[in-house]
Chains A and B, each alone.
Chain A
Amino acid sequence: MAENPQVPAQATRPLSPHLTIYRWPVTMMTSITHRATGMALTVGALILAWWLVAISNGLDGGYQTFMALAASPLGMLVLFGVTWSLAYHFFNGLRHLAWDLGYGFDKKIAERNSVIIFALSFLTALIIFAIVWTGHGGYLQ
């Protein structure tokens, strides 16, 4: 009889499969990405506040600084991230509402929609940046 029979028993005990063992299905990716984009958008609200405060300061009240920073490489990277996050959270949020109504739970459909949502959100962010870069934004002046 072993001196401490618990040690080998513990070492060989079968573990319940968890995150590190599963091959990630695309639906797991969409689930965690929904959270990540939600957190990013929460922090991104600071940019919205900064933008509105800069506007409210009127002429030469920091709005030009904001716009210059937004047009810098780092600014554009951050804004692209926020734009994609909003697009993703929007499309996947609509899917969550559909799920709440009981639609779209079929495994094949859920996986297909996950791929569509990733593609659609990137496409939306790219189209928005293309509109702004080619000077087709700024139509509200």
Chain B
Amino acid sequence: MKSLQTPLHRVKGLGSSHSGTGHFWRERITAVALAPLSLWFGYVAIGLSGTTTSAPLQFFAQPVNAILMASFVIISLYHAALGVQVVIDDYIHSAGMKIFLFLTVRLFVLATGSACLIALLRISVF
């Protein structure tokens, strides 16, 4: 029997999920990047525990530390948005609620990430 898919649908290779392996792949790429960054973050969090304000200020004034922390923030929040999306996909079955929660998660990571990045800029640039 001839396929009922339109030629466009066939060439895009997308089924009822409306997406391919891009989501899965991004989740893995960010996970690989986060493995060493998480170790660095742990080293920094312990190293700055119990310090007064000047220690973290001086630490993040170093460009390499600010850039590493910005990378950790961006990649981990991106990874978080991808992960939470899968949880929503699995447990929420109404389309309207799904869209609402997707947008909420994206707004949350954008707002949280912006706060972190602006803070890092204030420390390291201004």
Contact = CB atoms under 8 A, between A and B. Distances in A.
Interface of A: 35, 38-39, 41-42, 45-46, 48-49, 52-53, 55-56, 58-61, 63-64, 67, 86, 90, 93-94, 96-97, 100, 128, 131-132, 135, 137-141
Contact of A138 (B34, B35, B47): B47
A90 B38 contact: yes
B50 A96 contact: no
A90 B49 CA distance: 21
Give chain A's interface secondary structure class: helix
Contacts of A139: 46-47
Nearest to B49: A137
Give chain B's interface secondary structure class: helix
A138 B123 contact: no
Interface in B86-103: 87
B80 A38 contact: yes
B48 to A, nearest CB: 5
B67 interface: no
A137 B46 contact: yes
A42 B84 contact: yes
A16 B47 CA distance: 52
A58 B53 contact: yes
Interface string B91-126: 000000000000000001100100110111011000
Contact of A55 (B42, B57, B83, B109): B57
Given A49-B112, A97-B32, A138-B51, 12 more contacts: A38-B87, A45-B80, A45-B109, A45-B112, A48-B116, A52-B116, A55-B60, A60-B53, A67-B50, A94-B35, A135-B50, A138-B50
Contacts of B56: 55, 63
A39 B84 contact: yes
Given A41-B80, A90-B38, A140-B44, A132 B49 contact: yes
